Structure 1
Amino acid sequence: MLISTDRLVLRRFRTADAPRLAEYRSDPDVARYQSWDAPFPLLRAETAVANFLASDPDKPGWFQYAIERTAERDLIGDVAVHLHDNLRQAEIGFTLAREHQGQGYATEAVSAVLDRLFRVQGLHKVAGECDARNTASAGLMERLGFTREGLLRQQTYIKGEWTDDLIFGLLSTEWLLR
């Protein structure tokens, strides 16, 4: 366990998580604004989990937190953090299984990760980016205090179309004053 909240444990992925990762990432609604396509095959999930296991939350690069409900001990999503080489900045992303959306789990999980990044790791800034049509992700970042810093028009070519991206940023001073 790396982080715990009232209802969640944010931990390292385990090899046994691959089938569940493949399951929720195979949901077309979950994959809609993400970089992967549905279905998300088990072999790809096993490879992803192996890569997650090789990463370190305190070292530059990507680290993926598994989101597990404490009482049920079930994997419901993940939070990704890309720590920059300077160890002072990061990018964040998040995915939650559809059946667990709208219950505050993503807010709780991302908030806990942000608290670790700012209070424990001493980061200066965390950025987030999402497809401009992804109002749920944009709303989550805004609720957590992120500032919308920009709109990149037709920035990303993904799934056969050009998409606009929203850019968000959160400074440590803003988080710590909440």
Structure 2
Amino acid sequence: MPTALPRLSTSRLLLRALESDQAEALFTLANGPKIADNTANIPSPYTLETAQTFIASVAEKYRAGELLNLGMHLRESAELVGIVSLRLNARHHYGHLGGWVAAHARNQGYAAEAASAIMDFGFTELGLQRVGSQCFGRNKESARVMEKIGLRFEGCMRQAFLKNGVYEDLLGFATVREDWERRL
């Protein structure tokens, strides 16, 4: 596994690690109510301290082979518009895809573009065999993104996640290396 955090690019995005001076921007974007509501691990409220801790931990978690977190930056302006991640399980050659897009940048294809790029990196550079993801059953937008990028729906785990006192259904999606390579 490479030890330096990658910099990935797409036609419209630059995916790279966040720098400490971006903590306030991350805090502002991630503190939106829909971000925490639709993700498993983002707290609400999302504080400046949370943003600083997140940024400070990225390189160490990647070097440990646990997690790759990259900021989604618009190529033209370098503006941060979201986060894309792969939670890594080296033993099983598995990556769990995650991420979010800021409210003002949604419905522009950035999530699919970033997810495809990080998945390609996972398969080609990290040697992953499988990449999967989950979303809450009510999160139709995330489900559409996963299908758009080639993850197959694998099923619904009913009431599998307790979020804000409510048991949420989790929809599971995944692809394997062979299917990913075939789509190219």
Task: Within 5 Å, give how 1:21-170 maps onto structure 2.
Answer: 21-34=26-39, 35-56=41-62, 59-86=64-91, 88-170=93-175
Specify every segment of 5 or more residues in structure 2 that has no aligned partner in the other structure, as ranges.
Answer: 1-5
Q: Which residue of 1 aligns with 2:18?
A: 13
| CA displacement 1:38-65 (0-9 Å, x = unmatched) | 32110111111111132227x5212211
Q: How far apart, in 2, do the equivalents of 1:36 and 1:177 lie?
A: 34
Distance change >3 Å, CA 102–CA 94, structure 1 → 2 = same
Q: How far apart, in 1, do the equivalents of 2:91 and 2:65 lie?
A: 8
Which letter does structure 2 place at the counterpart of 1:28? P
Q: 1:115, CA displacement in angstroms?
A: 1.1
TM normalised by structure 1 equals 0.93
Q: How far apart, in 1, do the equivalents of 2:21 and 2:181 lie?
A: 36
Check the 8 A contact 1:130/1:137 in 2, yes or no.
yes
Check the 8 A contact 1:60/1:87 in 2, yes or no.
no
RMSD value over aligned CA atoms?
1.5
| CA displacement 1:121-166 (0-9 Å, x = unmatched) | 2211001011111101111001111111121111011111111101
Check the 8 A contact 2:23/2:55 in 1, yes or no.
yes
Please state whether the residue corresponding to 2:61 is helix, strand or coil: coil
Check the 8 A contact 1:145/1:170 in 2, yes or no.
yes
Q: 1:120, CA displacement in angstroms?
A: 2.3
Please state whether the residue corresponding to 2:73 is helix, strand or coil: strand
User: Which is worse superposed, 70-79 or 119-128?
Assistant: 119-128
Q: How far apart, in 1, do the equivalents of 2:109 and 2:173 lie?
A: 20
Which letter does structure 2 place at the counterpart of 1:153? R
Q: 1:75, CA displacement in angstroms?
A: 0.8
Check the 8 A contact 2:35/2:42 in 1, yes or no.
no
Q: Which residue of 1 aligns with 2:178?
A: 173
Please state whether the residue corresponding to 1:138 is helix, strand or coil: helix
Please state whether the residue corresponding to 1:122 is helix, strand or coil: coil
Specify every segment of 5 or more residues in structure 1 that has no aligned partner in the other structure, as ranges.
Answer: none
Q: How far apart, in 2, do the equivalents of 1:138 and 1:101 lie?
A: 14
Q: How far apart, in 2, do the equivalents of 1:129 and 1:145 lie?
A: 14
Which letter does structure 2 place at the counterpart of 1:70? R
Q: How far apart, in 2, do the equivalents of 1:67 and 1:140 lie?
A: 16
